Amino acid sequence: MNVRHRTLAICLSLGLLTAPLVSWATVVDDQQALYQDNGAGPFNAQRGEQLWQREVVNRKDGRVRSCTTCHGNNLRLAGKHIKTGKVIDALSPSVNEKRLSSAKKIRKWFKRNCKWTWGRECTAQEKGDFLSFIQR
Ligand code: HEC
């Protein structure tokens, strides 16, 4: 039992946490454990935040891209898709309980967004750091 699981268990027994909160924490733990199996870790929210703001010039259009391009700097606020103009609901599970609750979604969007933003897939280390930052 790691520290988070123990904390969760204590909070649960005190009835302090709601069900959706439990599910995203568990999903994130499981994902990070998988990344660790691939040699990554430990993960760090501050490093995740730096990666979040990391700017990469796109080879095709010569413009700067970062995760903030669509999601903004404040994960508790909604973002806006740079291409479609559509609103993207806040990414922070603290204000949006649907976030980080599905491993499938996390995998899908990491793949797509890393490729679009940085021109390559993110490493296991980067993904683990991102998750620590997003769930902070
Ligand atoms: C071109 C716009 C765009 C950029 C840039 C972008 N994203 Fe996203 N991202 C999206 C959209 C669209 C969704 C899914 C929409 C939704 O679920 O509301 C999404 C969803 C996600 C999710 C899924 C969260 C969940 O559990 O529902 C994660 C994680 C994520 N993005 C991380 C990143 C990271 C990390 C970067 C930078 C490497 C990034 N995004 C850059 C558009 C973008």
pLDDT in tens, 52-98: 999 999 999 999 999 999 999 999 999 999 999 999 999 999 999 99
- The closest residue, in CA terms, to atom 2 on ligand 1 is 70
Select from 75, 95, 106, 109 the residue to mutate for testing ligand 1; criterion: most ligand atoms less than 8 Å from CB: 109
Q: List Cβ neighbours of 71 (8 Å cut-off, separation of 6 or more).
A: 79, 88, 91
Handedness of CA 73, 63, 127, 106 (dihedral sign): positive
Q: Which tens digits make up the pLDDT trace of 106-130? A: 999 999 999 999 999 999 999 999 9
Q: Would you place residue 23 in the very low, low, confident or very high pLDDT band (cuts 50, 70, 90)?
A: confident
Residue of 21 and 136 predicted with greater confidence:
136
pLDDT of residue 63: 97
Segment 10-29 shows an average pLDDT of 66
- The closest residue, in CA terms, to atom 20 on ligand 1 is 109
Structure tokens at 2: 């790691």
pLDDT at 4 over 80: no
d(CA 50, CA 118): 14
State in Å: Cα 45 to ligand 1 middle: 17
